């Protein structure tokens, strides 16, 4: 009897070990797919956002929104960015915006990519804000005392890449007799403790705008401070990456990002005050995306019928 019992235990142990081995094998396969395919499996999300009383001249205004390039994640894959830029240009957008985190640690990560970034083209320009990583806070060289020096270097690099850099300021786009304002604010700090630029100060001078866009890196900024304002029509953010893992299906999406970010990917809002969260192009930490592909968003502004 004891021998039979021992034999059954041995059999159960073998079955359990085989199950664990199978799970580990499947995990490795999924991880490898995420590393070699998932992080370069770019998805284009086309979104129409309707607004009450939108002037006819702005109906169909097209924004290409990208975010979180983390260019160091492309250091050995520069050529994989070129078709992305070409595809963005093929949409012939009115504007292109990038909501930050060009680098992960320090400005030097961006220097090999300025020519590629400068190849982006749109009717009314390319605009960018700094994300929290762009302040240099994750490097050993910069901190709360001197991060402005890091931002100055980022501004120079972005200007050399033909980007209009918005650091707690606004710019105006004139389309015939209509005006669109873009306001950009800086996000400083480490997750989850962030400080944001002063929106009230940055938005000054935009009162006569027919449509107002806010660029802010962290979507929690909109959740906490922007969603009930009536002087901002559209907020664009990134930062979450969708945690680079999850499930995206028509009508269903889930990611551990939701534990930190109530608005973590896609369109949120109501009453002509909307937020769109882009899940980013690059990676941070593990160089993989599992079920959470990198995103280029094509946003069309429409008048509500």
pLDDT (tens digit, 9 = 90+) per residue, 260-272?
999 999 999 999 9
| pLDDT confidence of residue 1 | 58
Residue 10 pLDDT grade (very low, low, confident, very high; cuts 50, 70, 90): confident
| pLDDT confidence of residue 205 | 93
CA atoms within 13 A on the CB side of 22: 6
pLDDT at 2 over 70: no
For every residue of 202-255, DSSP letters joined together read HTTT-TT-SEEEEE-S-HHHIIIIITT-SS-SEEEE---GGGGBSEEETTEEE-
As a whole number of Å, the end-to-end CA separation of the chain is 80
Question: Could you tell me which residue, 247 or 27, shows the higher pLDDT?
Answer: 247
| pLDDT confidence of residue 29 | 76
- Average pLDDT (244-273) is 95
Q: Compute the distance between CA of residue 85 and CA of residue 66 in angstroms, rounded to an integer.
A: 11
288, 295 contact by CB (below 8 A): no
Residue 66 pLDDT grade (very low, low, confident, very high; cuts 50, 70, 90): very high
- Average pLDDT (124-138) is 97
Residue 85 pLDDT grade (very low, low, confident, very high; cuts 50, 70, 90): very high
| pLDDT confidence of residue 250 | 87
| pLDDT confidence of residue 170 | 98
Q: Compute the distance between CA of residue 250 and CA of residue 141 in angstroms, rounded to an integer.
A: 44
Q: Compute the distance between CA of residue 78 and CA of residue 144 in angstroms, rounded to an integer.
A: 32
Question: Could you tell me which residue, 251 or 24, shows the higher pLDDT?
Answer: 251
Question: Could you tell me which residue, 284 or 193, shows the higher pLDDT?
Answer: 284
Q: Token pair for residue 49?
A: 């956002």
| pLDDT confidence of residue 7 | 62
Q: Compute the distance between CA of residue 62 and CA of residue 60 in angstroms, rounded to an integer.
A: 6
| pLDDT confidence of residue 12 | 77
What's the whole-number average pLDDT of the chain?
93
SS3 assignment, position 102:
coil
| Cβ atoms < 10 Å from Cβ of 178 | 16
- Average pLDDT (188-204) is 93
| pLDDT confidence of residue 4 | 63
- Angle (CA) 235-236-241 rounded to 5° is 140
Q: How far is CA 73 from the centre of its chain?
A: 15
What are the tens digits of pLDDT across the range 23-44? Answer: 777 677 777 777 788 899 999 9
Question: Could you tell me which residue, 23 or 298, shows the higher pLDDT?
Answer: 298
Q: Compute the distance between CA of residue 82 and CA of residue 71 in angstroms, rounded to an integer.
A: 13
pLDDT at 191 over 80: yes
243, 255 contact by CB (below 8 A): yes
Question: Could you tell me which residue, 202 or 3, shows the higher pLDDT?
Answer: 202
pLDDT at 21 over 90: no
Q: Token pair for residue 169?
A: 């300021």
Q: Compute the distance between CA of residue 173 and CA of residue 130 in angstroms, rounded to an integer.
A: 20
| pLDDT confidence of residue 305 | 77
Residues 6+ apart with CB under 8 A from 194: 132, 187, 188, 218, 220, 221
């Amino acid at each position: 009897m004891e021998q039979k019992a021992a034999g059954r235990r041995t059999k159960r142990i073998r079955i359990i070990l085989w199950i664990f081995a199978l799970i580990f094998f499947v995990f490795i396969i999924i991880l490898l797919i995420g590393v070699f395919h998932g992080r370069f499996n770019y998805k284009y999300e086309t979104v129409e956002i309707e607004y009450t009383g939108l002037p006819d001249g702005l109906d169909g205004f097209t924004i290409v929104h990208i975010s979180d390039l983390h260019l160091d994640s492309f250091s050995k894959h520069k050529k994989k960015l070129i078709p992305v830029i070409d595809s963005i240009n093929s949409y012939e957008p009115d504007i292109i915006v990038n909501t930050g985190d060009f680098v992960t640690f320090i400005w030097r990560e961006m220097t090999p990519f300025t020519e590629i970034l400068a190849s982006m083209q749109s009717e009314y320009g390319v605009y960018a804000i700094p994300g929290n990583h762009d302040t240099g806070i994750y490097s050993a060289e910069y901190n709360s005392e001197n991060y402005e020096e890091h931002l100055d270097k980022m501004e120079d690099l972005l200007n050399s890449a033909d980007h209009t850099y918005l650091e707690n300021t606004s710019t105006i786009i004139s389309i015939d007799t209509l005006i669109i304002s873009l306001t950009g604010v800086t996000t400083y700090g480490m997750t989850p403790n962030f400080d944001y630029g002063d929106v009230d100060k940055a938005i000054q001078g935009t009162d006569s705008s027919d449509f107002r866009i806010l660029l802010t890196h962290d979507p929690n900024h909109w959740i906490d401070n922007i969603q009930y304002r009536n002087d901002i029509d559209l907020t664009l953010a990134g930062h979450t990456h969708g945690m680079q893992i999850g499930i995206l299906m028509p009508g269903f999406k889930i990611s551990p990002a939701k534990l930190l970010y109530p608005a973590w990917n896609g369109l949120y809002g109501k009453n002509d005050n909307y937020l769109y969260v882009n899940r980013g192009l690059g990676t941070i930490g593990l160089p993989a995306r599992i079920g959470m592909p990198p995103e280029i968003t094509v946003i069309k502004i429409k008048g509500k019928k």
